[in-house]
Amino acid sequence: MTPEVIVISLPDAKERRKSVEEQLSHLGVTYRFFDAVRGLEGHELFSKYDSQSRLREEMEDMSSGQLGCYASHYLVWQECVRANRPLIVLEDDVQIDQKRFGDFLGRCSGIPDRYECVRLFPPLGRKNKPWLKCFSMGEQLAIYKFKRGHKSTTGYLIKPSGATKLLEHAKRWIQPVDIEMDQFWSHGVEAYGVWPPCLKNDPRFESMIGYVDSRPERSLDITVYRKVKQIKDLLMRSWHNLSFRMGNS
């Protein structure tokens, strides 16, 4: 089934919407805007946010922008499940490689069901590179397994089975949505990405998330807690990747 293209965007983000419209019109792509949740206005989904656990891990609350971003993607996952069809989800600060994205759109209906979520942009982090080729989409395009998550939500293909798993995992919000999506060893939605990537962030647009510039000094008990959690996550991720490698050798 051919995925529907959805662009998450605030209703009044005129310049961003114009940029997306111009890029997708060149490809002749049918798409629609999905009105993003404005964090400052609040939302019933924010009740899922576990501030206490967040403060224990990060010594700071998530920003209203981060909560709004999480809620926006959560609502899109719900729509994916309700409609029972795959979606290509784009954020409105996306910059599209016309040829590569066009190639992906032309071939993505043939992607097997086991690829439940495929990131379409390059991962953040110099060391996070394509690791294991899993599925060829032609001479120049392939889906790879990554050892780590992509640390962003610029654009991705999501299938109903993957959206269901992410929704189940998102009963309690502690980290921003991109970091939660990266916990593939926990929710079971693998860290797949297309290579070469066909999307990236448009440098003309600044992030609207509202990150915190500085954090208070961490106490000893919180420092120890964080270190133990980081080691635990590293071990679980490494074991998951080893198991994946052995199962696909």
pLDDT digits (tens, 9 = 90+) for 77-104: 999 999 999 999 999 999 999 999 999 9
Between the alpha carbon of residue 65 and those of residues 39, 134, 142, 179, 210, the distances in Å are: 5, 35, 33, 15, 6
pLDDT for 225 equals: 81
Q: What angle do CA 123, 126, 132 make, to 5 degrees?
A: 60
Sketch out the chain's domains with CATH numbers: 4-247 (3.90.550)
| Per-residue model confidence (pLDDT) at position 211 | 53
pLDDT at 208 over 70: no
- pLDDT tens-digit series, residues 27-41: 999 999 999 999 999
pTM of the model: 0.93
Q: How do 4-9 and 87-91 pair as beta strands?
A: parallel
